[in-house]
Amino acid sequence: MKARLARGLKGAVRPAGNDSSLLLDPNHPSAPRPQGMRRYAEREPVDMLIVGCGAGGATLAQRLARRAWKVVVLEAGPFWDPDKDWVSDEAGSHALYWTEPRVIGGSDPVELGKNNSGRGVGGSMVHFAGFAPRFHPSDFEVASRDGVAADWPISYEELRPHYERLEHELPVAGEHWPWGDPHGYPHSPHPVGGGALRMIEGAERCGIEMRVGPVAIANGSFGNRPHCIYRGLCLQGCKVGAKGSPLVTHVPDALAHGVEIRAECMATRIELDEAGRCSGVTYFSEGRERFQAAEAVAVAGYSIETPRLLLHSTSARFPNGLANGNDLVGRRVMVQGAPQIAGRFPEELRMYKAPPPEIASEQFYETEEGRGFARGFSIQTVGPLPIGWAEHVLADGHWGQALREYMRDYNHWYVIGALNELLPLPENRVTLAEETDANGMPVARMDYSQCDNDRANIAFGKQRMREIVRAAGAQDVLEIDRYAHLVGGCPMSDSPESGVVDSDHRAWEVPNLFIADGSVMPTQGSANPALTIMALSARLGERLADKRVTATPKHRQEVPA
C-alpha cells in the first residue's frame, strides 16, 4: 500500500523551501532573468559574500537568503540567457567552459577546460552530464576502513537529509538505488536509448547489475520547467531547462529572497583586517578594480580557482596565501580516472540521442579483497557527440583514412566509462604560475601524477568494462584514457595540521572565511560530485543560519525559514 502510494506520488511532491521551478518564466524556463534583482552598496558589509555561483555558491546563497541573510555572489562569468547564449551545438558551446589560461604539469597532467571547468552563473553544472548519485557511507571513513587517504570530519548521516531534500529540488530521476545507503528517487527513471539497453544486457551476462539513473533531469514537467526532449546535448547546456543546474534549481529562489548575483566580476583578493578577519573581496568588473565589504566570505570557485584566490590573497599575516600557514592550500586536488570503452554493434544505436547519462553501476565502488588495490569505481554511460567521438578514435591511434572510416561508423557505436576513485596525494596540487591573466593575477598551475593504486584501479575498471561491452555483443572495441571531475585542494579535516577548513567549512586560520565547494572534499569516491557539493553547501547554510557555527554575523537575529 505504502509502496503503491509512493509510486503514485512519483514526481508529484514539491520540494520544501525552494520555489525555483515555479519562479521561472514558463515561456523562458531555462534561466531566470536578473531584472529587478536586489542591489547592495559596496561599502556596506553584507552578511555573506560568496565567490562563485556554481553548485556550492548558489546553493549556499539560496539557503542563507531563505533565512534572511544579506548575500552577494561574485561570479566571474556571465549571467546566462540560454535562449540567446546557448546553442544546440558541440563546438559552439565553448563559452560555457573556463578557458582562461592555466598551466598543467606532473607525470599525468589533467586537461582542464571543457571537461571539468565551468564559468558563468550555474557553474560547471550548466555543462555537467547530469548524473547525480550520492556518495556512499564508506566514502566518509576511507582511512579507517581501507588504510588509505583520509576520513572526513563528518559522516554520511550528516549529509543524508540534505541529499534527500536536494534530490527533490533538482529533481533526480532513477530506479531504486541498491548501492551505498539504499534509497529511491522522487522521479521515475527516464527511457533509455538502444545503446544503454545493450549495455544492461551485457552487464547482466557478466553478473553486473546496472540501473537507470540517477540523473538530475525531471521526468515530466517540473513546475514551469518542461520535459526533457532527449536531444542529447546535456554537456552543451540545457536550452530546454529540463536538466538541473543551479541556474534553474537555486538561483531563481535565491533572487526572490534578495540575493544579488554580480556576474562578470572576477575576484582577485580576499582582504583581511587588522584582527585577522576577512573584511571583503577585491574584484574586477569591466576592467575596473572594486571592493565589496562583508561580515563573512565564502569561497566557492571550485578546486582550481578557490586555491588560486587564497594563494593570491597574501598579507603580512599570511605571506604564503590566506589560510595557508600549514602549506595545505591547493594540495590533494583530485580527479577521477575516467577511461571509456566503446563497442561496435551491428545495428544503429545513434548514441547522440537521449541524455548521455543513462545507466550506472556502483557494484565495484568499495574495496574488495583480491583486486590488489584500495577503493573502486563506478560504471556509467557516456554518449559522445561527433567531436567527442573523434577524440576517442584519435586516442586509439587513428588518423587519415582510418579515422574518417571509424567516424562514418559513428551510429553503430556506444560508449561506457568508469569513474575510478583516485587517491588524494599531497604533491598533486594547485600553485600559482609565473604567467598572469588580463587582470595581472597569476594563473593557476595544476600538477597531477597517479600512484600505483590509481593505475591498478583504472586497469581493473577497464577490464570489467571490456567484458561488459564484449558480452553485450560488440563486434569491436576502442578505448580512451581520460579524467573527470575535479575535487579537493582545500580539504576539511579534524585538525589544522591535516586540512584547510574544519567540519563547518571554516578556515582553521581565519574565523570568518568559509570554503563552500568541491575543494573541501577529503576524498572523492566514485560518484559524480555535483550532488555532494550541493549537499555540503546546504548543510553549511543550515548550520550558519541556525547559529550552530560561530563567527558569523553577530547582529543577525534568528529568522524562521
Partner 1 sequence: MSGDAGHLPSRAGTEPGGPPQSLPRQRRGKTPQMLGRYPDYDVLAEVSHWDEPTRRVVLDRVERVPPIRFFDEREAATIGAFCDVVLAQDSEPRIPVLAMVDEKLFERKGEGYRHADMPPDPQAWREVARMLDAAAAEQGAEDFAGAERDAQLRIADRFSQGKLDWEGLPVAKAWGLVMRDILSAFYSHPWAWNEIGFGGPAYPRGYARLGPGQREHWESPPEFELDPVRDVTERGLE
Angle value at C-alpha 118, between 115 and 119, nearest 5 degrees: 150
**β partners of residue 442:** 436
**Calpha distance 334→422 (Å, rounded):** 7
Q: Which is nearer to partner 1, 166 or 199 (CB)?
A: 199
Q: Which is nearer to partner 1, 63 or 187 (CB)?
A: 187
Q: Which is nearer to partner 1, 195 or 518 (CB)?
A: 195
Task: Please answer whether residues 384 and 415 qualify as being in contact, where contact means their C-beta atoms are separated by less than 8 angstroms.
Answer: yes
Within 8 A by CB and 6+ apart from 194, the residues are 347, 348, 349, 350, 414
Task: Please report how close the Cβ of residue 364 comes to partner 1 at its closest, in angstroms.
Answer: 19
**Calpha distance 116→289 (Å, rounded):** 28
Task: Please report how close the Cβ of residue 215 comes to partner 1 at its closest, in angstroms.
Answer: 14
Q: Which is nearer to partner 1, 405 or 546 (CB)?
A: 405
Residue whose C-alpha is closest to residue 463's, from 441, 476, 479: 479
How many Cβ atoms sit within 10 Å of the Cβ of residue 420? 31
Q: Which is nearer to partner 1, 88 or 285 (CB)?
A: 88
CA separation, residue 254 to residues 354, 452, 531 (Å): 31, 45, 18
Q: Output the CA torsion 368→373→375→377 (10° steps).
A: -90
Q: Which is nearer to partner 1, 462 or 505 (CB)?
A: 462
Task: Please report how close the Cβ of residue 358 comes to partner 1 at its closest, in angstroms.
Answer: 10
DSSP per-residue letters across 112-169: -STTT-B-STTGGGGSS--B-PPPPGGGGBHHHHHSSS-B-SS-HHHHHHHHHHHHHH
Task: Please report how close the Cβ of residue 443 comes to partner 1 at its closest, in angstroms.
Answer: 9
Within 8 A by CB and 6+ apart from 74, the residues are 49, 50, 51, 52, 262, 265, 266, 267, 281, 283, 292
Amino acid at 245: S
Task: Please report how close the Cβ of residue 532 comes to partner 1 at its closest, in angstroms.
Answer: 24
**Calpha distance 240→221 (Å, rounded):** 11
Task: Please report how close the Cβ of residue 442 comes to partner 1 at its closest, in angstroms.
Answer: 14
Q: Which is nearer to partner 1, 207 or 399 (CB)?
A: 399
DSSP per-residue letters across 330-357: TEEEEEEE--EEEEE-SS---TTSS-S-
**Calpha distance 506→509 (Å, rounded):** 8
Q: Which is nearer to partner 1, 94 or 547 (CB)?
A: 94
Residue whose C-alpha is closest to residue 17's, from 66, 68, 69: 66
Task: Please report how close the Cβ of residue 21 comes to partner 1 at its closest, in angstroms.
Answer: 19
Q: Which is nearer to partner 1, 32 or 193 (CB)?
A: 193
Task: Please report how close the Cβ of residue 114 comes to partner 1 at its closest, in angstroms.
Answer: 7
Q: Which is nearer to partner 1, 377 or 389 (CB)?
A: 389
Q: What are phi and psi of 361, to 5 degrees?
A: -135, 135
Q: Which is nearer to partner 1, 192 or 311 (CB)?
A: 192
DSSP tag of 522: S
Q: Which is nearer to partner 1, 99 or 315 (CB)?
A: 99
Within 8 A by CB and 6+ apart from 415, the residues are 195, 340, 341, 342, 343, 351, 381, 382, 383, 384, 389, 392
* SS3 state of residue 100: coil
**Calpha distance 256→249 (Å, rounded):** 13
Q: Which is nearer to partner 1, 33 or 404 (CB)?
A: 404
Task: Please report how close the Cβ of residue 161 comes to partner 1 at its closest, in angstroms.
Answer: 35
Task: Please answer whether residues 361 and 378 qualify as being in contact, where contact means their C-beta atoms are separated by less than 8 angstroms.
Answer: yes
Task: Please report how close the Cβ of residue 203 comes to partner 1 at its closest, in angstroms.
Answer: 16
Task: Please report how close the Cβ of residue 534 comes to partner 1 at its closest, in angstroms.
Answer: 24
Task: Please report how close the Cβ of residue 436 comes to partner 1 at its closest, in angstroms.
Answer: 13
**Calpha distance 317→402 (Å, rounded):** 60
Q: What number of helices (H) and strands (E) belong to the chain?
A: 14, 19
Task: Please report how close the Cβ of residue 345 comes to partner 1 at its closest, in angstroms.
Answer: 8
